[in-house]
Chain A
Amino acid sequence: MISTLLPKLRATILASSAALLLSSCELLEFSPNDVRVTATEQDLTHKNLARLAAQPKPTGGDTLRFVFTTDSQRYYDELDPLVSSINQQRGVAFVLLGGDVSDFGLRREMSWVQEKLNGLHAPYLTVVGNHDLVGNGRTAYQKLFGPLNYTFTYGDTRFILVDTNGREYAFNGQAPNVPWLQQQLADTLEVRRQVTVCHVPPFNEDFDPALKENFARTLAQAPRLVFNLSGHIDKFGESEPYDDGVTYISGYSVQQRHYLLLTLWGKTHYKLEAIAY
């Protein structure tokens, strides 16, 4: 009797002390600006991309469906309904979050958001927003999520995620990194479609004015671009602001309790649905 109980008891004690240790680690905070995270909270971009790569495309043919939501900053009440609504959609390959994961650039805020987004059935990917660069946020974002500029290809579509928060760099001419963007757009090997994703759109005053034209021209010259996705302005929009054939889509913020369900097929065909939750 005792011999069967003992291992059980030991396992329980071990598990509960591990849980206690973990939670006390979080409780014992050195600074709200520190970037101390557990191993499970690190490199989420990398982990989600690995998950995505291993996942067969949920829609048939050349159709690709994904969700675009943005600006989760301090809207924790809205995240649970968002997650359960997205989980009810069929054929969603992944979820894109268009930046401002956090409000104050704090590690703990990003951790709260990723805990909620972990509830998504599909992998999720983020692009950095201006609020994520405040304080020590840039380091926290890099630690929890990963690079500020990166690309991935899924369903023959190359997604290029770029840091466009120029004002946070005092408009130093480096954000967005246009040469990098040009390079990524030029690489079309096995790429049927291209989508660019950023936080601040080029027609907003927080975009580096010196880079605006170059950025727009780069997108206009991209051979297979479907559209550009952005956040920041908390207002849905779908337009061709520069009359150059490039569609710019501004997403709904999490607070607005809507998200975009985007379905791509053919060369540059797409269907946009705004879903309320």
Chain B
Amino acid sequence: MHRFLLTLSGLLLFLQSQAQVAEPNNRPWYVPEHVVLQTAGGIGMVAGGVGYALGVHRRFDTDVLVGYVPGRYTGDRAFGIFTLKDTYSPFTLPVASRWQIRPLSVGALINYTPSQMLNRSRDDKYSYKNYYWWGSTVRLGAFVGGRVGYAFDTPAGRKRVASLYYELGTNDLYFVSLLTNTKGLALGKILTLGLGIKLDF
């Protein structure tokens, strides 16, 4: 847990320093550039967060989200899910003056579900080594997706983009299941879909 948080904060610091280089503006470097709201994709019934668009062409998004799964869907108490997500969208198609399409995004995420309801699988319960080799509370994920954005100006004259995105992905445990079962499991069985909106500050 500690190691995970340390890695997470380290990663964030690194990405933030990148943001500082790429986005010279009059805001303090630590102020996020957009807000995110997502449903599903394995990170919550609803997940909200903030993020930065990095790189010269702002092709890298780094988002931090907190997700919520109500007790109705967990069997008991609600889950809180903490997610760090990176998305790379190499192409932007300007289809009209204000509309922009990013036809392809690829990304990865890591999340942590600190619920007491989850029976930990790494408690050295079994004497044989690596019997439970995975952690029940930390998941890795990867996805491909796309995004449609609409550019507008605020009354103060600042340029903003509001966009909708989708992510078709999976997690490490589903992927391992598919990898070891080429006949008995289809790709479609392991997929998850996330839908979200992003809005520049």
What is the interface of chain A, defined by CB distance below 8 A to chain B?
24, 27-36, 74-80, 103-106, 108-109, 112, 116, 133-140, 142-143, 167-168, 170, 205-206
Contact = CB atoms under 8 A, between A and B. Distances in A.
B107 to A, nearest CB: 16
Contacts of B69: 30-31, 34
Contact of B73 (A30, A78, A137, A170): A30
Contact of B183 (A34, A80, A167): A80
B75 A143 contact: yes
B89 interface: no
B174 A136 contact: no
A76 B182 CA distance: 9
B126 interface: yes
B177 A32 contact: no
Given A76-B185, A79-B184, A32 B119 contact: no
A205 B136 CA distance: 23
B64 to A, nearest CB: 17
Given A104-B173, A109-B177, A206-B126, A29 B74 contact: no
A60 B17 CA distance: 78
18 contacts: A27-B192, A28-B192, A28-B193, A29-B40, A31-B69, A34-B69, A35-B74, A74-B181, A75-B184, A76-B183, A77-B183, A77-B185, A106-B173, A112-B185, A136-B75, A142-B75, A170-B125, A206-B126
Contacts, number: 123
B171 A77 contact: no
Interface of B: 39-45, 67, 69, 73-76, 79, 81, 113, 115, 117-119, 121, 125-127, 132, 134, 136, 139, 171, 173-174, 176-177, 180-185, 189-195
Given A77-B181, A116-B184, A134-B136, A32 B191 contact: no
Given A31-B74, A77-B185, 6 more contacts: A28-B39, A30-B40, A31-B113, A112-B189, A136-B136, A167-B126
Contacts of A143: 75
Query: Is chain B's binding surface mostly helix, strand, loop or mixed?
Result: loop
A194 B191 CA distance: 44
A35 B71 CA distance: 10
Nearest to B127: A205
Contacts of B43: 31
Contacts of B195: 28
A77 B79 CA distance: 33
B75 A35 contact: yes
A135 B121 contact: yes
Contacts of A106: 173
A136 B184 contact: no
A29 B41 contact: yes
B72 to A, nearest CB: 9
A41 to B, nearest CB: 14
A27 B191 contact: yes
